[in-house]
């Protein structure tokens, strides 16, 4: 098993059809003890329990420093270490440029970008002390191509910020043997997209995807397994595209 005896924290992973839960399930299958952190305590506990009794579900708003630090203290109190952090929590809003208000901007940037920073800051001291660790940040193809299907410009900005932050963290944390990498998913079939794609939209989108299919959560989970495990032991600061060829560069 690729993650035997590893402790992995995954944010935004309580939704059973989401990228985070798919990653949590695959990590557990590969031997990790998984901590799911999401807004809803009951949903987090239920999601973790579905993986097995050795896993943990906690509630925290990733944009709230006090809640983040309290959650990580609980993780360390139970397991004594953290080997992998997957910064998956994020929200999107399908609104146009001129419709973006301060509250829209703050909401999206706080979760995706500030949340990535706060969660990373919370686990870094432990990873540094261990002289090992992997931080996986979920960005988006919309950060690379200037917009997606469902996210507004502020979503693209937040996810582009994640790319820059991750690269800077990778450079700073490299001497501590802490790796930081990003995944940029294309259009993935999750609860966010469910019921929102008409047949006409799907046909149009597939015309621009060489692999001729939409992605699913397992596609992202497998990439996160690669980056979280020692299979990627000499990779840091990279952006791993998982988009079926939607963007080739």
pLDDT per residue, tens digit, the chain (249 aa), is 999 999 999 999 999 999 999 999 999 999 999 999 999 999 999 999 999 999 999 999 999 999 999 999 999 999 999 999 999 999 999 999 999 999 999 999 999 999 999 999 999 999 999 999 999 999 999 999 998 778 999 999 999 999 999 999 999 999 999 999 999 999 998 876 666 677 888 898 999 999 999 999 999 999 999 999 999 999 999 999 999 999 998
Distance from C-alpha of 188 to C-alpha of 45, rounded to nearest angstrom: 25
Three-state secondary-structure class, residue 248: coil
Active site residue 155: yes
Q: How distant, in Å, are the alpha carbons of 5, 15, 93, 162 from that of 71?
A: 20, 19, 27, 22
- State percent of the chain over pLDDT 70: 98
| 13 phi, psi to nearest 5 deg | -115, 15
Number of neighbours of residue 55 by Cβ within 10 angstroms: 20
- Residues 81-93 pLDDT 10s: 999 999 999 999 9
For residue 55, what are its two tokens? 């896993």
**Of 79, 105, 155, 234, which residue is the catalytic one?**
155
Nearest to 63 by CA among 91, 86, 42: 91
For residue 15, what are its two tokens? 């939704």
Q: How distant, in Å, are the alpha carbons of 17, 33, 122, 163, 221 from that of 51?
A: 14, 9, 24, 30, 15
């Amino acid at each position: 098993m690729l993650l035997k005896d590893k402790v992995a924290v995954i944010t935004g992973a309580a939704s059973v059809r989401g990228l985070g839960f798919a990653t949590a399930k695959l990590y557990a299958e590969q031997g990790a003890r998984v901590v799911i952190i999401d807004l809803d305590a009951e949903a987090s506990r239920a999601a973790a329990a579905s993986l097995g009794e050795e896993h943990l579900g906690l509630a925290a708003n990733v944009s709230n420093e006090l809640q983040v630090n309290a959650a990580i203290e609980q993780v360390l109190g139970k397991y004594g270490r953290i080997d992998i952090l997957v910064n998956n929590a994020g929200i999107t809003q399908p609104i146009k440029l001129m419709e973006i208000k301060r509250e829209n901007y703050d909401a999206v940037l706080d979760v995706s970008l500030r949340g990535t920073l706060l969660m990373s800051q919370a686990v870094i001291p432990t990873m540094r002390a261990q002289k090992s660790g992997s931080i996986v940040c979920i960005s988006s193809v919309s950060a690379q191509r200037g917009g997606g299907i469902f996210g507004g410009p502020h979503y693209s900005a937040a996810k582009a910020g994640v790319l820059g932050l991750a690269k800077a963290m990778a450079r700073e944390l490299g001497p501590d043997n802490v790796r930081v990498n990003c995944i940029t998913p294309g259009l993935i079939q999750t609860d966010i997209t469910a019921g929102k794609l008409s047949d006409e939209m799907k046909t149009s989108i597939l015309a621009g995807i060489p692999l001729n299919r939409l992605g699913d959560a397992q596609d992202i989970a497998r990439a996160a397994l690669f980056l979280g495990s020692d299979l990627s032991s000499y990779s840091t600061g990279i952006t791993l595209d998982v988009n079926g060829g939607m963007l080739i560069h």
